[in-house]
Structure 1
Amino acid sequence: MNIRRVLFITILLFSAPLHADDAKYFEKQANQAIKEFAETLKSALMLSMQTDGSIKTIAVCKDIAPKVAQQVSEKYNLDVSRTSLKVRNPENRADDWEKKVLRDFNTRMEKGETIKQLRFSEQVDIDGQKQRRVMKAIGTDLVCITCHGEKIPEQIQAELNKLYPDDEATGFSIGSVRGAFSVKEITKAD
């Protein structure tokens, strides 16, 4: 066996565990980022509902959630966001990959999976670069219904109309897939 062949085989043998470790590390970081984002956002929503009331709570999703996403993204060196098939803020619109996963979440739920089970991870090819991605479903809780439900109080609807004239994010029921947390590995092109 020539030296090049030995070197090539050695590189292959040692690089496989590194890629597996990278994937495990990404999964662990993504899970922690999602958990932190979800817990922080839910706590802020609950506190605002209890102290400020429904109309002022709109600001939590509008102003605070993007800041939390940015902080969590920076902390974990990932791109962390929220998206949905029916968005309120156009900046949260799902890309094609996210739309596919969200539709799959709805199908999986119809087949009996719970919100907690709705998670998907995949390595995708973006313009010739590999990128790991994860999505975890966001269920519609009682705290969500006031602004995202089927019957939104008139005052809240008026404020939503003012802030989001193209709002699509209504008509949800408790337990349905409201959207998902989406995590992307930051690539060199980002």
Structure 2
Amino acid sequence: MSISINIHVTAPKGATLGRLRFHGDEFICALGRSGIVTAKREGDGGTPIGTFPLRELRYRPDRVARPVSRLTMIETLPDDGWCDAPDDAAYNRFVKRPYGASTETLWRDDQLYDIAIMLGYNDAPVKPGAGSAIFFHLAKDKDGVLQPTEGCVALRLDDMRSVLANVTPTTQMVIELASTP
């Protein structure tokens, strides 16, 4: 198997589980509840198709050790948030909570964002309503089965650590529908 510089995520149309291939390894990943979509909209539960840079890695130092990675790393704080209000000037951007518009909480009670990489989706430029808070984060595992996300790509902790150890600041995530035979 060849070693790729980009993370490749593929799944059939409508699937909530996909394959993540990177650096000669392959992992099962969780996708949005609507699967991979070609026209992402805020709240649709779809994982957007496309190629996205890995902007920064945020982690909860009270729960996980600092990940081994060459990505820009930021410790998540209790008041960290991500604006998901399409009509707000900070839409699809980091904010401090409490904030005057709807936000995604980055300091969560569950472990999903204990390690979270912000993907460069809908951020250059931001288009209101085209989707926000598309991250590469930890998966919810229920009885050995990864649960769908709200539109993100998610891995088990050990798989995430394996991927992070090999990414570089130029690594991108390529998300596409699986080709049919």
Normalization by structure 2: what TM-score? 0.24
More helix by share: 1
Normalization by structure 1: what TM-score? 0.24
More strand by share: 2
- Answer with 1 or 2: which has the greater Rg: 1
Larger relative CO (CA 8 A, sep 6+): 1 or 2?
2
